[in-house]
Chains A and B, each alone.
Chain A
Amino acid sequence: MSEDGVKKFLYVNRKAPYGTIYAQEALEVVLIGAAFDQDVSLAFLDDGVFQLTKGQDTKGVGLKNFSPTFNALGDYEVTKLYVEQESLDERGLSVDDLQDIQYEDEDDDWAEKPSIIVVSRSQMADVMAEQDVILSF
């Protein structure tokens, strides 16, 4: 933990959207937790990478499409979305299949920058190992 009391929080997303409520609930918790000015990151691995696909259209299934909410995370200073390359590969996905989620960098004249950071499985392990708190969904 840093000396200013800010802890590193990681929300681990391993479930696909819609089939269970986990993905939507995780996003709710992230938005609530964002009020506490902590150092927040999100991890997407295993079926969690499916949460970020673009073009989700839930009209036919009667569920709320919550995928646009990922684009609002930057406004809550949640700007680090780690996505595991191996999980994408296993599912036949590339980063081009995902939403282009961006945030405005207040330290760089509000330049728009990508929030998604594609990492290898071993890099994901490093990200996990450097956290103070890990919340799993």
Chain B
Amino acid sequence: MATLHTVNKSPFQTQTLISCLGHAKAGDSILMIEDGVYGAMSDTAMAEVVAGMGADKKLFVLAADVAARGIDAGRVAEGVTSVDYEEFVDMAASCDRVQNWL
């Protein structure tokens, strides 16, 4: 009974990603989209806390939003899987529920 969580806010600007990670259950999927993709970058002030809180969850990032922001694909942190729009749809369809953290 897993949930797909989407986060669309920068973790440097709001607590949205932290709150999502704090409420998501082990095994849930968290997809970072729009400005949320900044939470998927390595070597930032947020990277360690995201990796720690996300260790028992599945972390994803929407590739088109990464490219739009000039983030090199190599800067996406280890343990975060890049997905495209089709995979986003598949994830939404196959999970039990979708919770959008706005």
A interface residues (Cβ-Cβ under 8 A, vs B): 15-20, 46-47, 50, 53-61, 63, 65, 67, 89-92, 97
Contact = CB atoms under 8 A, between A and B. Distances in A.
Given A60-B63, A61-B68, A90-B12, A16 B45 contact: no
A88 B71 CA distance: 13
Given A16-B13, A19-B8, A19-B34, A53 B69 contact: yes
B44 A56 contact: no
B42 A18 contact: no
Interface residues of B, number: 24
B68 to A, nearest CB: 4
B70 interface: yes
B8 A60 contact: no
Nearest to B45: A90
The 7 closest A-B pairs by CB, nearest first: A60-B64, A19-B35, A53-B70, A92-B43, A56-B70, A92-B44, A90-B45
B76 to A, nearest CB: 12
Interface string B57-70: 00000011101111
A97 B10 CA distance: 18
Contacts of B97: none
Nearest to A50: B69
Q: Is the interface of B mostly helix, strand, loop or mixed?
A: loop
Given A18-B34, A19-B10, A47-B10, A63 B68 contact: yes
Nearest to A19: B35
A61 B63 CA distance: 10
A64 B75 CA distance: 23
Contacts of B75: 92
B47 interface: yes
B5 interface: no
A50 B35 CA distance: 10
B68 A92 contact: no
A97 B69 CA distance: 11
B12 A57 contact: no
Nearest to B70: A53
Contact of A47 (B12, B42, B43, B70): B12
A54 B70 contact: yes
Contact of B13 (A46, A53, A54, A57): A46
